[in-house]
A and B are shown apart, each in its own frame.
Chain A
């Protein structure tokens, strides 16, 4: 291996050989089906959306996402951090910055083009559809190169990378979709997409050059005054009254402010739409819905820092000796983490609940909202309307908190294979959920079957949850991670929460169409149990290896 280009290629191949082997296997299956099973020239009538989705769309989307992560070095970096995600170990190689940026881009682009061409020519597409050859590949390359440029760029604020990348990639996607909507031909699509690749390369080169010379902007100073205001409450000059208080402070300072900061950055942009769309009630309510969904959505990103066992090293999953040697039980370490996430959720929602009325008032859309609220009160009565609003808000807050903590039991294990497998399964699920939803919506037989089997499905899910909870509790009990008293108190709190939710649902949805036992099953499923109980076990497994 005599050239840096070959060495970089070798690293990609060596690190991701199993993924590449799986991809080769998938393409082989596609080719076998097309060349050996189907007769040449046979017309394919693949009207069934689910079959097409299962064979082509889902694997294509999963592989595309996998390539994005592989070639942007995203599998081993800190997405929410300020520093470049380009591996710092490569900066000391005697290689030009152009080569450091260029080779991964070239390999990634080649992989994307091959992926598309293989899918284009090997997959069985529905007959009667003219499948384009070049521009989808260019779109994939364009998205990849921009992802690389944006992930390798150092940022002035934590979390800014996620926001910039999501917004910019959405813009590129929207331009392509808009062009398709107006039936743009292939040359037009090429003219839109092709120039982006050299621009992205220049951006990536600048990003790597800045990262290489350690030029990481720090804009946190701009928020210093805000920080001082925020620090008035949590900053303590006196001693902590207990180790638990000290650990809560540590968790809050480490990751507690991520979610409020992310929400705080996005809110002004979202609420600005109220000024643009203040004549249209639909747009106003869509904007408000978007704002209300922001905390749970951003919590999914903030959760990456909450569940990370090692805050200092981006590609390490084990606990650092500093944290592992705190004279605290694993349960106390988890308790501090959970408390910090509660404060984080409340802070983010405080921002939202203060910003919404303020923006409605200033944009002049307040009367429109009041008018709609009056109609709802007239229709269902004031008590029910109030309870609906409170329940909706509580549900969103609970969903935000749940997003923050529900993957703790995976991240805190510190096992790379478990964390990466879980990430892969999540991506697979996200890719599959769209086609499955379309399949359900478009297929009346499936809808009927699902509706008839709904109680059984809920029952099966409850059984799974209870079996998982029993397994976790048994292991927690045997390992002594939680005391008997904590276990009993936790179980009692969970039962009370389930009963309270059941009572509320029974009061709200008082209709013969909804049997009471179904409400009970929904309440059991809604209140977290197994995954949350597994978090101390996961941490203990990581801490005492």
Chain B
């Protein structure tokens, strides 16, 4: 648990006059499940995009596995599984084609595990992605993110796409299994109960600033509940 997978130091990002992230510093050790919680527009996705190298740090630094994700996208992205908040899988592909295509990028891709996930998620390999429902697309995205057994799994608002059954029965189990194997999970959410169910460590973000970052047990111990902690440090509850 001592080696840091993600190290963010004094990261600041502005979009025009608006400050999306203000001197954010964060360190995430290996093997933990991190819940990034905040209201819509708090800066969760902006922080995740910096970690993936999709945004360049204006000031401060971002290191993932000790590497700069902008300078070395291959070194970083090949070890990350990412489920985007946006449902942007190529609509013209078939499920089987997407699996075959994605497999080429990850040396650690596990065919047996991918097939197991496909069956669990009830995805037809011959189906075109454009014919899938929103929930099915999210399941497919999760399959692609998981099948290469990434060292770091990043889930951006998974609850916005996944249907309740997958969220309740599968997502939690998958996340716990990954953490038990010593790998790291970072997931963002505006649902406190979702974070409470699976996270070891919770980071609250508000108006681009880290309001609180501590182990879940410690937060519960000091505030009684996650809701109370959020209210105390952010001043309001996140959007329902």
Binding site for B on A (CB under 8 A): 236, 239-243, 245-246, 249-250, 253-254, 311-312, 319-322, 324-330, 480, 543-545
Contact = CB atoms under 8 A, between A and B. Distances in A.
A329 B89 contact: no
Given A236-B100, A246-B104, A321-B82, 19 more contacts: A239-B104, A243-B105, A250-B90, A320-B88, A321-B84, A321-B86, A322-B84, A322-B89, A324-B54, A325-B54, A325-B82, A327-B76, A327-B77, A327-B105, A327-B106, A329-B73, A544-B54, A544-B55, A545-B56
Contact of A480 (B71, B74, B82): B71
Given A543-B54, A545-B54, A243 B104 contact: yes
Contact of A246 (B56, B91, B101): B101
B92 A544 contact: no
Contact of A249 (B71, B86, B101, B103): B101
A325 B71 contact: no
B158 interface: no
A513 B52 CA distance: 60
A328 B54 contact: no
Contact of B105 (A311, A319, A328): A328
Contacts of B35: none
A241 B104 CA distance: 7
B211 interface: no
B56 A240 contact: no
A545 B55 CA distance: 5
Given A312-B91, A321-B86, A544 B70 contact: yes
Given A240-B104, A242-B104, A545-B56, A321 B74 contact: no
Nearest to A333: B73
Nearest to B13: A545
A254 B104 CA distance: 17
Contact of A544 (B53, B80, B84, B91): B53
Nearest to B71: A480
B51 to A, nearest CB: 11
A240 B103 contact: yes
Contacts of B76: 327
A544 B56 contact: yes
19 contacts: A239-B100, A240-B101, A246-B103, A246-B105, A254-B90, A312-B90, A312-B91, A321-B84, A322-B90, A325-B77, A326-B77, A326-B105, A327-B74, A327-B78, A328-B73, A330-B73, A543-B73, A544-B70, A545-B54
A326 B74 CA distance: 8
Q: Is the contact region of chain A dominated by helix, strand, or loop, or is it mixed?
A: loop
Interface residues of B, number: 28
Contacts of A253: 92-93
Contacts of B100: 236, 239-240
B201 to A, nearest CB: 24
A312 B88 contact: yes
Contacts of A327: 73-74, 76-78, 105-106
Q: Is the contact region of chain B dominated by helix, strand, or loop, or is it mixed?
A: loop
Contacts of B84: 321-322, 325
Interface in B96-151: 100-101, 103-106
Interface in B44-61: 52-56
A159 to B, nearest CB: 15
A154 to B, nearest CB: 15
A322 B86 CA distance: 9
Contacts of B71: 480
Contacts of B80: 325
A94 B92 CA distance: 32
A245 B104 CA distance: 8
A254 B92 contact: yes
A117 B205 CA distance: 59
A514 to B, nearest CB: 49
Nearest to B97: A253
A320 B52 CA distance: 13
Contacts of A321: 52, 54, 82, 84, 86, 88
Nearest to A246: B104
Closest 3 CB pairs between A and B?
Answer: A246-B104, A327-B78, A327-B77
Nearest to B106: A327
A476 to B, nearest CB: 14
Given A239-B100, A243-B105, A311 B90 contact: yes
A385 B5 CA distance: 66
Nearest to B103: A239
Contacts of A319: 54
Contacts of A246: 101, 103-105
Contacts of A249: 101
B74 A329 contact: yes
Contacts of A324: 52, 54
Contacts of A236: 100
Contacts of A545: 54-56
Nearest to B70: A544
B184 to A, nearest CB: 17
Nearest to B148: A327
Contacts of B89: 322
Interface in B173-219: none
B54 A250 contact: no
B82 to A, nearest CB: 5
Contacts of B105: 243, 246, 326-328
B72 to A, nearest CB: 9
Contacts of A544: 53-56, 70, 73
